[in-house]
Structure 1
Amino acid sequence: MLSPEKLARINELAKKKKTIGLTMEEAKEQTSLRKEYLDVFRSNMKKTIENVTVIDPEGNDITPDKVKRLKSNKFPN
């Protein structure tokens, strides 16, 4: 999880970019922070998807095969 300070800084830089613009250093910082945010987001989303099981109304497991393979590779028997 990204720290609250970094999230606040991302928002601060976005607001500044819309109003008065960013210096070259601030633009580089914004790019770096956004990359870090996206890496954390993607990692969390992958973990969430790997732990999903889809059940239809009849009670059958209809989890996509790709997700099942990810689970089996993550938790070998």
Structure 2
Amino acid sequence: MLSKEKLDRINVLAKKAKDDGLNLKEQKEQKELREEYLKNVRKSFKNQFKSMKVVDPEGNDVTPKKVQELKDRERNNH
């Protein structure tokens, strides 16, 4: 998870970009912070996805094959 300071900085840069524009150093910083933020979002989503289990009304596990494969890969890597 991104620190509060980094999230605040992302917001400050976004506002400045909209209002006044950013210099090259700020553009680079914004790009790096956004990449880090997206990396964290993707990791979080993947973790939630791996823990998903789908059950039909009769109680049968109908979790999609891709999710099961992802879980299996994770178990084999540890």
What TM-score do the two structures reach when normalised by structure 1? 0.93
What is the letter of the counterpart of residue 24 of structure 1?
Answer: L
Shift of residue 56 of structure 1?
1.6
Distance 2:44 2:5 in 1: 19
Which residue of the partner structure matches residue 27 of structure 2? 27
What is the letter of the counterpart of residue 9 of structure 1?
Answer: R
User: Identity, % of aligned pairs?
Assistant: 53
Which residue of the partner structure matches residue 18 of structure 1? 18
Shift of residue 73 of structure 1?
1.9
Which residue of the partner structure matches residue 71 of structure 1? 71
Q: Which runs of 5+ in 1 are unaligned?
A: none
What TM-score do the two structures reach when normalised by structure 2? 0.92
Q: Which runs of 5+ in 2 are unaligned?
A: none
Shift of residue 60 of structure 1?
1.4
Write the deviation string for residues 31-56 of structure 1: whole angstroms up to 9, x where unpaired: 00000000111011111101100112
RMSD: 0.9
The 4+ residue runs of structure 1 with deviation greater than 2 A are none
Which residue of the partner structure matches residue 44 of structure 2? 44
Shift of residue 14 of structure 1?
0.3
Which residue of the partner structure matches residue 9 of structure 1? 9
Number of residue-to-residue matches in the alignment: 76
